Amino acid sequence: MWNLSFGFFGVQIAYSLQSANISRIFATLGADPHQLSFFWILPPLMGMLVQPFIGKWSDRTWCRLGRRKPYLLAGAIVAVLVMMLLPNAGSFNLSTAYVFLGLNSAMWFGLFSLIFLDTSINVAMQPFKMMVGDMVGEEQKTRAYSIQSFLCNAGSLVGYLLPIFFTWIGIANEAPKGVVPDSVITSFYVGAAILIACVLYTFLKVREMPPAEYAEFHGIDPAAESSEKGEGLLKLLVKAPSTFWTVGLVQFFCWAAFLYMWTYSNGTLAYNCWGGVTDTASKAYQDAGNWVGVVFAVQAVGSILWALVLPRFKNVKTGYVVSLIIGAAGFVSLFFVHDKYLACASYFLVGAAWAAMLALPFTLLTNALEGSPRMGSYLGLFNCTICLPQIVAAATGGLVISLVGGSQAAMLVLAGIFLLAGAACVSLVKVKKSKEQ
């Protein structure tokens, strides 16, 4: 189970570098706070477009290299190449005088790089979730996804802390206006190297089941499997179990909340904890950008520790609700926090919600889908419950922040309200007990 998910560690480093630094990068390139949320439409949009098809295609891919593994390797290779380009968007002497639709040429370069980066990360990420569903029995799935959650948070820690680490050892954290600092660029380079090494480890260590063995392991009737091969994604969606929809509703509120966290944390900390700083070229703003990595790392630590507590809840839904309420308290408290160290405590609480979001939804869904030959297709479709809320939150972010007077801290309060709404929707979820229960 460890080898099965180890590559996820490297993928998550890439994802966390993107999450912690996209707002910082585009603000440095010239985007204002009202534009930032629009850049965040792209990552979930690409996931929503890519992952259902990766699931569908990989369900039917039985080759010498494996079933899911060819996709994770191809995605990782492309991600590495794009990670070399994205942070250099301001360093290629592009004419910043050229402006189209309110974006200068450096921002357009960064935008297209972001599209390719998130597409490739999604291609590399989804197979790890599918392989757990493919190769782990129902009674061990909670443990397998907990290992994946641990590696996810460990990768997040590394990705979040790389910029401040490289600043600490002397790599420049300041750059000319419109240029991303070397500390961030170096972080992306190192993250790319770790990503490909970890993915290769899983690729070489894991042997996927051949079709006959897979069918026997899951108790699948080959005749029934053959009859379902022609079903399109829309037809599968219509036949999805109720757990798909009810957990998806919870997911909607949770992922909208975290989209706001990723988008507005940098501006919130710069303004609240660095004396009202808004100049993106200033040393204080870039220092706040490094601190975003620190608080996100603290969130990951909180998530790791809370993941140890979650199994102690006798009722899964109770653990889900409590986790989201604790996370909501963390988000709301950031409106009142004006010390960077106290901000760490707030993000530590947010980690409880993140732990639940990583551990519970996929366990609930894969148990509900046990015996289905279209596991990958359903997991790919389920990713839409992660992507769609982020797209909605990003598309409306410019309007919403205008309604709250331009306050990025107020957007984090709204994130807390979203988590409370998600907690309320947990009551709609029907839990399938595992065999060991």
DSSP lists the bridge partners of residue 183 as none
122-131, 133-142, 271-280: which has the minimum mean pLDDT?
133-142
Residue 354 pLDDT > 70: yes
Tokens 């309060």 label which residue? 413
Under 8 Å between Cβ of 387 and 300? no
Over the chain, what is the mean pLDDT?
A: 81
Per residue in 384-394, pLDDT (tens digit) is: 888 889 888 88
Q: How many CB atoms lie within 10 A of CB 228?
A: 16
- Please indicate, yes or no, whether the overall pTM of this predicted structure exceeds 0.95: no
Per residue in 288-309, pLDDT (tens digit) is: 888 888 898 899 889 888 888 8
Say which residue, 364 or 418, is predicted with more confidence: 418
Mean pLDDT of 46-57: 75
Tell me, what's the pLDDT at 351?
93
Residue 130 pLDDT > 90: no
As a whole number of Å, the end-to-end CA separation of the chain is 21
Tokens of 111: 């935008």
Tokens 């957007």 label which residue? 411
Per residue in 202-214, pLDDT (tens digit) is: 888 888 777 777 7
**Torsion sign, CA atoms 54, 58, 61, 67:** positive
Tell me, what's the pLDDT at 382?
80
- Please give the backbone phi and psi of residue 91, each rounded to the nearest 5 degrees, phi first: -110, 5
How do 103-104 and 99-100 pair as beta strands?
antiparallel
Architecture of domain 2-428: Up-down Bundle (1.20)
DSSP code per residue over 185-232: HHHHHHHHHHHHHHHHHHHHH--PPPHHHHHHHHT--HHHHHHHTT--
Where along the chain do its domains lie? Answer: 2-428
